[in-house]
Structure 1
Amino acid sequence: MKYLKSAFLLVLVLQFSACANLDDIWPGSAKASSSVIKPLSDQREYRYIRLENGLKVLLVSDAAADKAAASLDVNVGSRQDPEDYQGLAHFLEHMLFLGTEKYPEAGAYQAFITAHGGSHNAFTSFEDTNYFFDISADSLEPALDQFAQFFVAPLFNAEYVGREVNAVNSEYRARIKDDRRRELAVFKSQLNPAHPFSKFSVGNLNTLQSANEDALREQLLAFYERNYSANIMSLTVIGRESLDELEAMVLPKFSAVENRQRQLEVIAEPLFKAGDLPRWINIQPVQNRRSLSVNFPVPDAEPHWRSKPLNYIGNILGHEGEGSMLSVLKAKGWADSLSAGESLNFQGGAMFGVEVALTEVGLAHVDEIVALIYQNIEQLRAQGIEHWRFTEQAGLAMQGFMFRAQPAAINDVVQLSMALQRYPAAEVMRAPYLMNDYRPKLLSEFLAAMRPENSFITLVAPGVKTTTEVSRYQVDYSVRPLTAAELTGFLPPESASLTLPAKNNFVASDFGLKSGAGGGKPVRVASAAPIELWLNTDDVFELPKAKLNLLLASGQASGDVDALAKTEMWLRMVKDQLNELTYPAQLAGLDFDLDVGWRGIEISIGGFNEKQGELLAELLTALTSPDWQESRFARLQAQRLRQFENAVKQSPYQQLIAELPRMLNHENPGLAAHEAATRKLTMAAVAEHAAVVLNSLQPRMLLDGNFDQADAKKMAKLVAKALSVKYAQTAPLQHISHLAVANTVREIAAEHDDSAALLYLQSGETGMSARVAMGLTAQILSADFYHQLRTRKQLGYVVSASVYPQRDIGGLIFLVQSSVVDSASLQTEIKQYLSDWLETGVDEATFAQHKASLLKRLAEQPENLWEAAGRHWRDLLENYQAFDSREQLVQALTDLSYADWVAAVNRDLANGSQRGLFLYAAGKWPKNMPVGPRVESPEAFKRELPAYPFN
């Protein structure tokens, strides 16, 4: 066994703490570098440089990387929008992608990234705009060359102004019924109008004054020239090249970014004007949801990142263990969940909030719940500022940093580029975790702001009385008259049941690394326990962490919709019962899940390996001996029924995506049938069903990570002891619809003005060759489909084409949501696109380029332990016991000739030979119906079709 001694860990922590005052001390030199403080397992090399133009750059050399990535953050966002052009920063983000002086073709960047196995995106927030991409590691240099030009010489072509302002408007329209957006709109309406956060950040045709495109472009150019300055930009690049090579790659490309000496103004205005608080707002939601939040304006916590006062307070108020606020509320039947923490931050200020998801019963007790929140804060103020609590939180955070699982490169670069704007370069990785400065007086100062008279309270619930509307989001709300004295009157005598968290018993202390056979793939382990047991002792990522996956296979668990509904409710009861116990485990880096699928019940545990056995034992005990409480059952059943009700109120494109597997997978019931089965459940029927399922289980377990054979056998014995294992049962099968040559049409009744369309095309053949042919087709046409239907024709904000395999069945989906045309027109546009694409054809050179790119993507190694474990588990479940599904795909693609691919494309995509399923939402055009044979329900559709069986 390899050991990472605790004493050694302590020495490292102390050494790193000694570097805590390293600062950004290298301006003006492109040769200077720093030792970025990094996790123990991180083998990458880092270099920080500051270019002569002031641009901050973090270079990350990872010799083993299959994917390169880059992110550039501009410390400018909607905060800088002009009052009469709100949404301009967001609009600029859209326009920046549409050509530069060096690369003038709109869509060329997107096409290049896609053709080389990558992805790209951007986002605009209040104080940042971030642009990012990933790509095959050997294509980083040309991708960076195109990327850099966005910040050197963008064209902002006048011909695209009208098109892209429509895209921004479509993005706004697509989320007009999103409750979070609507609540944010009401919140902004209550702020001090002089504070920049009160502005409308998304933008639409009105706020961007789209009728005058010339004026809008002038505003766009002025905004760019004023704000896009190298001295407020930060760039992170990850590549397999050496640091010197990366520096030589970046320096000439980004040194040309102009330094306009932009200095960000201090926000002088308060978030709320004097006398505005306390305030209580009632909001009518779209979905059937009930929430109560109490927020407080507090000082800016960012300067105190070494102390993290709001993290400390949020961790205590948001605790879910015994005696916590959530525990008390659940016992009363008033709440389903609770969260606490920083809800808004900006230069110079922040807000802290506690949000409670209410039950119907809880809605009648909102005043008492608000009082309980105040009481818990007062309890923390009086009793909870203790050094041991801070030390425990700091220790858990430092463990999280030291043994951080490396994120995907595209996520890592975004996090690091934003961190460069906020922390010293040496601390960009550690700073989000660091708590090394215990300051009780500072904690008291933040808690002092969390008093009743400083409250902004929001109640969101169906049926609340409303008197006013924010027309932009069509959201009704009202202000409940309230005084500080009334709020103080809510306070009852102190609740004896409300306690502060106890010490956490799940904190890991053994960081030893286990030794095993290695090889990178799981092996079957012979065990005395009657369990199919697999083990992969990791020798790649070298973390004291692991992933445990356990399948309790049973045809009884989800054999029909009634059985599925019963098993779901049983598992929900178990998870709710365990919440007080398992929440400290989650804080200590141990996550778990418990779910049901067509194979049976799946249990997964991930995180530090030391305590996983203890957590698994608790899970199995609760699974086999649930605490059958009628009150808990009623609360969870009502919660599940609300989820069904709210599913039909999501955005149209989300509903179409969710409906597709219900149409294809025979074991996946339709939404209406699933809801009906859940509605008729009784606790007695669920308990009886659980007993039956427990007598029909076939366990299959895979341990991946820092486990050895002794650990695996111990876990197997634990499972065998807890469960009645039956090998005689017949393993369940999965059945996937075998579509006929047709374009069957099904309408989804989405409550939204936008139309939406999803065309699914199933391959006419099964097997690896058909799968990779579809995958290659998706890669070749996806960027062009997006460019033609979104950029050129401006049909909508949501436009995508992607591969959609189902086991060994290849498939493609084409998806569009539109605020400007009906679903029949979308059907015509998608069909016309396919017809034009087939007619234009793809030459053999393009085929070869994309094939090589896809081969690289398929051969990419997992970026972290969790991705590796996920791949292994999927292979095991799908009976690739050599764990070689990727290798088989690579071989199939290698063997795919141009002629074979062309034949497959014509077979699967040509009009008249398509095995298609067209799902749509009519939006505000109910009479304009797509053409094709119609089906009314998933059950009726699947009854009429043969199915491919899979075990």
Structure 2
Amino acid sequence: MLRRVTVAAVCATGRKLWCEAGRELAALWRIEARGRCEDSAAARPFPILTMPGRNKAKSTCSCPDLQPNGQDLGESGRVARLGADESEEEGRRGPVSNVGDPEIVKSPSDPKQYRYIKLRNGLQALLISDLSNMEGKMGDATDDEEEEEEEEEEEEDDDDDDDDDDEDSGAEIEDDDEEGFDDEDEFDDDDDEHDDDDLDTEDNELEELEERAEARKKTTEKQQSQSLFLLWSKLTDRLWFKSTYTKMSSTLLVETRKLYGVVGAESRSAPVQHLAGWQEEEQQGETDTVLSAAALCVGVGSFADPDDLPGLAHFLEHMVFMGSLKYPDENGFDAFLKKHGGSDNASTDCERTVFQFDVQRKYFKEALDRWAQFFIHPLMIRDAIDREVEAVDSEYQLARPSDANRKEMLFGSLARPGHPMGKFFWGNAETLKHEPKRNNIDTHARLREFWMHYYSAHYMTLVVQSKETLDTLEKWVTEIFSQIPNNGLPKPNFGHLTDPFDTPAFNKLYRVVPIRKIHALTITWALPPQQQHYRVKPLHYISWLVGHEGKGSILSYLRKKCWALALFGGNGETGFEQNSTYSVFSISITLTDEGYEHFYEVAHTVFQYLKMLQKLGPEKRIFEEIQKIEDNEFHYQEQTDPVEYVENMCENMQLYPLQDFLTGDQLLFEYKPEVIAEALNQLVPQKANLVLLSGANEGKCDLKEKWFGTQYSMEDIENSWAELWKSNFELNPDLHLPAENKYIATDFMLKAFDCPETEYPVKIVNTPQGCLWYKKDNKFKIPKAYIRFHLISPLIQKSAANVVLFDIFVNILTHNLAEPAYEADVAQLEYKLVAGEHGLIIRVKGFNHKLPLLFQLIIDYLAEFSSTPAVFTMITEQLKKTYFNILIKPETLAKDVRLLILEYARWSMIDKYRALMDGLSLESLLSFVRELKSQLFVEGLVQGNVTSTESTDFLKYVVDKLNFMPLEQEMPVQFQVVELPSGHHLCKVRALNRGDANSEVTVYYQMHMEEPCFDFLRTKQTLGYHVYPTCRNTSGILGFSVTVGTQATKYNSEVVDKKIEEFLSSFEEKIENLTEDAFNTQVTALIKLKECEDTHLGEEVDRNWNEVVTQQYLFDRLAHEIEALKSFSKSDLVNWFKAHRGPGSKMLSVHVVGFGKYEPEEDGTPSGEDSNSSCEVMMQLTYLPTSPLLADCTIRVIDIRAFTSRLNLLPYHKIVK
């Protein structure tokens, strides 16, 4: 089966050129954002930034001359445990063997083979052979094939020498996320196999813990393509952008009204809720190709930072990318990956640093050799230090407005003096440049010293995965990685620094002023390290109960009191939450306004529940239920993206013994009630620390955290409550253990076909009320299914008030479902309700045995929708905060402004905020819902281990339960787009958060419907922290844009706009000078990528659902894309670019201007740079004048509605030809 991938058609060659030209653009203003560390994230153009302890850093860095300490780099060998030398192993296994290690326990559904080796320099490696996915080809590539491939590669390199020289030198702004193609339709297609906590961190404004939860969750998506557009995009990545991998890589962005996490998003079970009317969606339709991948974990992190150079470990993670003795070009590795469809990433945690990359299999061996030089002999030249410090500083500046980062930094500051938790892990210009200069510290020399001390082979674990035999992988790894030096020094150990929070500063109440509008209470305990108990996982057991949302749970009780919206409880995987010195157990609750007034009662409810658990003791029934659920998921797990997989495995190798490399972080192995009780009994009020976030704390906080400027206060727990919690207080009779879970699957049989097998979904039901597409899975053969429905209504877009009512409706519906559907969620049945632009999207997936029960439950609650006045008030008040929190972000405001200009009938987020603030009633909501349900068109897709008869029952259930009339006429599921006039139009507005220096500049070019097109390819390559190109599909109208996120403390937005234009002007020359061979190389690579198979069923479903929900139905789009790729020439690309950049081009610039010295306010003062809160923002656009720099060459837009009312509307358009 064909699958969509990184790039396609004409965009391919364009992306290559764009990459290089983009580095020149970066150099024009010294944006050296080469090493973005982001919470894996999502990805997306602006993923949530968190502390570098889990910040994904895409690095292109360099290092000074480093000399190994007398290491014999030539020695290598198999680990002694194998009991045989290499020749004996070969004889035992045969000349070409793919025999794995039986000691490594793997899932029965896992087709891969595993082998563990230990090199003589101490490096441990896990080899993963993925040959079983090669359509029956179990042999390795022959020597002749390898030689032929190498010859082809040499020829390509020769043809591209001039281009590569440029690519491998000069300034490059590294990408922070996969942007690339941006489909601005309304549809939510980001469901994949990894969205247990499928939260969009960029837009989730409810609670910082949700941001971290999403950051931890990694997903991958496939890509679509678009003829000339596509090849251009591929070239732009090649020539401009550093390849990266992020949580949401390779996405087609859809600007729609999807907003995750309106309420309940922090809860593990609460489905992601969405807001109608705005959101940019990152479609996950198709994940990355099955590339070869590698990851290496160094057993050292920010805990090892020297006291006089905070952030050095994070900085080193950036710097090792910048050239090596063997491959000295500063950006050579990134250029190599870009050329061959790959990506790379890195992250610095408290005690570990992880590097990973993926690339086409053909180039994997060479990529390994290039990548290994980071650890063998990086250059880290002195000249690169200042540039890369600016990159780290920009990353820090982007992170400062994050409440999650602020709270973590504040938490770390509570540790006892001398404990590494109190260090500033991020690093910035002050700690890495200015302060060292004042103290005569040579940062360059200290960086080299740090590398020599800590980047030693015996600290390292390596994982490689490819479609090669294990013998081949072993040969490569031994040959390449044995050269990494081993300094013989003991591995850093901080395990003796226990009880870091046994201080007077703990067990207090901290009131904190957040950036966003939110009320949240976090209760935290610092426990002894729990890693040694991984076979029991006591904190997992406790968090499963504490985070439960069914009857008798904490959240169920608090919701009934209208005190809480969401709850997240447990211990995450970041170094901040668990390391060798402590483990954190935290319970974070998103409060309502009323809940904030009763936060002590909320805390008391938590303590009552914990006391109940302590009194009852561990329950074997509960443990075995959790164990069964995890066993089922592991037994039938689907394959994940290789780069994500190897990253996880290399960290697991640092934590678990050989047999548990694959299972140690997933399964519950043994029931030991005494271990669970020991952890549970420490969760008492006397050891708890309380943090209360609220804008109401403003003016009451007299303290300020040093690095993030967080305003807070510290006080003793109120005496009456402290005394109560010391006593033998009464239990709450409404709190009890959950009942037995009826949703746990027990039937895993694969169903037989009841209709002819088809390659693509077929329409099996078509009535005036709805239609259903169906495809029975016969490829992945797992007992799971996907159910998706789109309930379309013209009522939603009739007014801004209706859009808001729709948001309220979806969120109350989700609130109503939270308790009854929670058991299904923990049984690995997942659901999500999405407020789409034109209808409600329902998505359900999981083991097919009990999936109908969950689907019917959702439809039942939809049919019998109701709300109490208290719940209505609670949700609307939270919605006000959500809208507000979206608007104070420059990047989201810029998107809102741009779409308000382009999509004529769209209601802006400001329109919605005003409609909500004007007041809506429960009666108006109930009236709206009745009308909404009275007339619909329902379209669905069912795929997986389900028969056609069972599938039709899903649609029948919807129609019968809702009993609606069909629509009077067919309804388009997209907006009409205005036709921009020729010329350069500029809309410049002031950002809404006075405390944020970040600015956003987007330059957009509108294209035409008549362009050859096969929809859009989604790319995973971007430039810099917030510098990226995007190919856009705005309701069927094509366009492309360049966006730069900068700071008003560093640049004026019009200077940025000017530099973007200079870059685009130079880009034309780049593509004209591209050789035909280089162009053809990119086209060939794209075709190969598109022919790769899906790695799991979710990818196939996502691709098909995108066709259904956009009503395009071109299920064989990939085949069309491949044919399009074969037909294009370089001249097509050049002519296409000239046509849209020449005279008569339709250009729109949107500037959202932050607060800083380069963007003074009208009175000339750059106020707001040091402000801590945004709570006094006025929700209206302030149009700013144009400076002389752009005044003569732009047409100013000072009233969006007046401007767009004079423009022509383009017809509705679908990309199906």
TM-score, L = length of structure 2:
0.72
- What is aligned with 1:593? 832
Q: Shift in Å at residue 713 of structure 1?
A: 2.2
Match runs of 1:542-691 below 5 Å: 542-650=781-889, 652-657=890-895, 659-666=897-904, 668-679=906-917, 680-691=919-930
SS at match of 2:1007: strand
Code of the residue aligned with 1:263 in structure 2: it is: K
**Alignment of structure 1 residues 81-96 onto 2, 5 Å:** 81-96=305-320
Matching residue's letter, 1:435: L
* CA 1:385–1:485: 2 relative to 1, 3 Å: farther
Matched to 1:408, the amino acid is D
Identity %: 26
**Partner residue of 1:68 out of 292, 301, 304:** 292
Give the superposition deviation at 1:647: 1.2
Q: Structure 2 counterpart of 1:894, which letter?
A: K
- What is the distance in 2 between the residues matched to 1:366 and 1:488? 17
Structure 1 residue 463 corresponds to structure 2 residue 696? yes
Residue 828 of structure 1 aligns with which residue? 1058
Matched with 1:9 is none
> Cα–Cα, structure 1 residues 873 and 642, in superposed 2: closer, same or farther, change >3 Å?
same
User: Which range moves more in the overlay, 313-322 or 251-260?
Assistant: 251-260
User: Normalized against structure 1, the TM-score is what?
Assistant: 0.91
Give the 3-state SS of the residue equivalent to 1:736 in structure 2.
Answer: coil
How far apart, CA to CA, are the structure 2 residues paired with 1:474 and 1:214? 26
Change (3 A) 1:27 1:411: farther
Contact map agreement 1:757 1:826 (CA 8 A) in 2: no
- 2:105 equivalent among 37, 48, 54: 37
Question: What residue is the counterpart of 2:731 in the other structure?
Answer: 494
2:630 to 384, 397, 403: 397
> What is the identity, as a one-letter code, of the residue corresponding to 2:944?
G
Instruction: Check whether the contact 2:896–2:908 (CA below 8 A) recurs between aligned residues.
Output: no
- Root mean square deviation, CA, Å: 2.6
- Are the aligned partners of 2:608 and 2:730 in contact in 1 as well (CA < 8 Å)? no
User: What is the CA–CA distance in structure 2 between the aligned matches of 1:748 and 1:521, rounded to whole Å?
Assistant: 48
Hey, what does 1:8 align to over in structure 2? none
Matched, 1:417 2:656: no
1:935-946 equivalent positions in 2, closer than 5 A = 935-936=1197-1198, 939-940=1201-1202, 942-945=1204-1207, 946=1209
What amino acid does structure 2 have at the position aligned with 1:843? L
- Contact 2:524/2:587 (CA < 8 Å) preserved in 1? yes
Corresponding residue for residue 999 of structure 2: 756
1:500-536 alpha-carbon deviations (Å, 9 max, x no partner): 2111111111111123344442122248996412111
Is the aligned partner of 1:365 residue 2:598?
A: yes
Task: Please tell me whether residue 906 in structure 1 is matched to residue 1168 in structure 2.
Answer: no
Say whether the 8 Å CA contact 2:522–2:692 is kept in structure 1: yes
Q: CA deviation at 1:554?
A: 1.8
Distance (Å, rounded) in 1 between the aligned partners of 2:759 and 2:119: 41
- Please tell me whether the aligned partners of residues 27 and 51 of structure 1 are also in contact (alpha carbons under 8 angstroms): no
2:1132 is paired with a residue whose SS is: helix
Tell which deviates more after alignment, 865-874 or 831-840.
Answer: 831-840
Change (3 A) 1:81 1:755: same
Q: Distance in 2 between matches of 1:939 and 1:67?
A: 47
Which residue of 2 is the match for residue 235 of structure 1? 462
Find out whether 1:474 has 2:744 as its counterpart: no
Partner of 1:769, secondary structure, is coil
- 1:331-370 mapped onto 2 (5 Å cutoff): 331-342=560-571, 344-370=577-603
Deviation at 1:276, TM superposition (A): 4.2
Distance 1:854 1:136, change over 3 A: same
Distance 1:28 1:676 in 2: 74
Residue 742, structure 1, aligned to residue 983, structure 2: yes
Partner of 2:952: 713
d(CA) in 1 for partners of 2:674 and 2:457?
38
Q: Give the direction of change, closer, same or farther, for the CA distance of 1:642–1:28 in structure 2 (3 Å limit).
A: farther
One-letter code aligned to 1:256: Q
Is the 2:809–2:929 contact (alpha carbons within 8 Å) kept by the matching residues of 1?
yes
Q: Displacement of 1:916 after TM fit?
A: 3.4
1:280 pairs with 2:509: yes
Alignment partners' CA distance in 1, 2:1148 and 2:1082:
25
Distance in 2 between residues matched to 1:944 and 1:403, nearest whole Å: 57
**Alpha-carbon offset, residue 852 of structure 1:** 2.5
The answer to whether the 8 Å contact 1:28/1:51 transfers is: no
745-754 vs 464-473, which moves further: 745-754
- For residues 144-183 of structure 1, give each alpha carbon's deviation from its aligned partner in whole angstroms, at most 9, with x where no partner exists: 2211111111100111000001111111111211111111
Q: Which moved more, 1:78-87 or 1:924-933?
A: 924-933
For 1:70 and 1:663, how far apart are their aligned partners in 2? Answer: 44
Deviates more, 1:854-863 or 1:445-454: 854-863
Give the C-alpha shift of residue 639 in structure 1: 0.8
Tell me: CA distance 1:913–1:29, structure 2 relative to 1, closer, same or farther (3 Å).
Answer: farther
Q: Give the secondary-structure state (helix, strand or coil) at the position aligned to 2:416.
A: coil
Classify 1:68/1:919 alpha carbon distance in 2 versus 1 (closer, same or farther; 3 Å). Answer: farther
Q: For the structure 1 residues 526 and 287, does the alpha-carbon distance in structure 2 shift closer, same or farther, using more than 3 Å as the test?
A: closer
Q: Deviations over 1:195-217 (max 9, x none)?
A: 11110000012222446497101
3-state SS in 1 of match to 2:431:
coil
Kindly indicate whether the alpha-carbon contact (under 8 Å) linking 1:376 and 1:498 is maintained by their aligned counterparts in 2.
Answer: yes
Conservation of the 8 A alpha-carbon contact between 1:321 and 1:581:
yes
Distance in 2 (alpha carbons) for counterparts of 1:452 and 1:616: 40
Of 401, 408, 411, the match for 1:184: 408
Shift of 1:846: 2.8
SS at match of 1:150: helix
- Assess if the C-alpha contact under 8 Å between 1:571 and 1:623 holds in 2: no
AA of the residue aligned to 1:676: R
Pairs aligned (count): 913
Q: Which residue of 2 aligns with 1:6?
A: none
> Does structure 2 conserve the Cα–Cα contact (< 8 Å) formed by 1:755 and 1:821?
no
The amino acid across from 2:883 in the alignment is F
Post-superposition offset of 1:493: 3.5
Structure 1's unaligned 5+ residue stretches are 1-22, 791-796
1:759 Cα deviation (Å)? 2.6
On the 8 A contact 2:517/2:885 being kept in 1, the answer is yes
User: CA 1:798–1:528 in 2, change beyond 3 Å: closer, same or farther?
Assistant: closer
Alignment of 1:117-196 (within 5 A): 117-196=341-420
Choose 271-280 or 216-225, whichever is displaced more: 271-280
**CA distance in 2 between partners of 1:803 and 1:68 (Å):** 27
Contact 2:500 2:581 in 1 (8 A): no
CA contact under 8 A between 1:741 and 1:916: conserved in structure 2? Answer: no
Alpha-carbon distance between aligned partners in 1 of 2:863 and 2:475, rounded to the nearest angstrom: 61
1:862-894 deviation per Cα after TM superposition (whole angstroms, max 9, x unaligned)? 222111111000012233435112222222222
Partner letter of residue 669 of structure 1?
A: W
Aligned with 1:421: secondary structure? helix
* 1:403-435 deviation per Cα after TM superposition (whole angstroms, max 9, x unaligned): 222222221121111111111233222222211
CA contact (8 A) 1:767 1:809 kept: no
Cα distance change, pair 840–189 in 1 and its aligned pair in 2 (3 A): same
Asked if 2 retains the 8 angstrom alpha-carbon contact of 1:769 and 1:893, the reply is: no
Q: CA 1:591–1:241 in structure 2 vs 1: closer, same or farther (change >3 Å)?
A: same
Letter in 1 for 2:694: A
- How far apart, in 2, do the equivalents of 1:96 and 1:867 lie? 34
Q: Which residue of 1 aligns with 2:120?
A: 52
Which residue in the other structure is 1:308 paired with?
537
Residue 279 of structure 1: how far off its partner (Å)? 1.9
Q: Which residue identity lines up with residue 81 of structure 1 in the other structure?
A: D
- Give the conservation status (yes or no) of the 8 Å contact 2:768–2:937: no
CA contact under 8 A between 1:44 and 1:60: conserved in structure 2? yes
SS at match of 1:479: strand
C-alpha distance 938-469 of structure 1, shift in aligned 2 (>3 A) = same
Q: Deviations over 1:449-475 (max 9, x none)?
A: 111221111111112221211132121
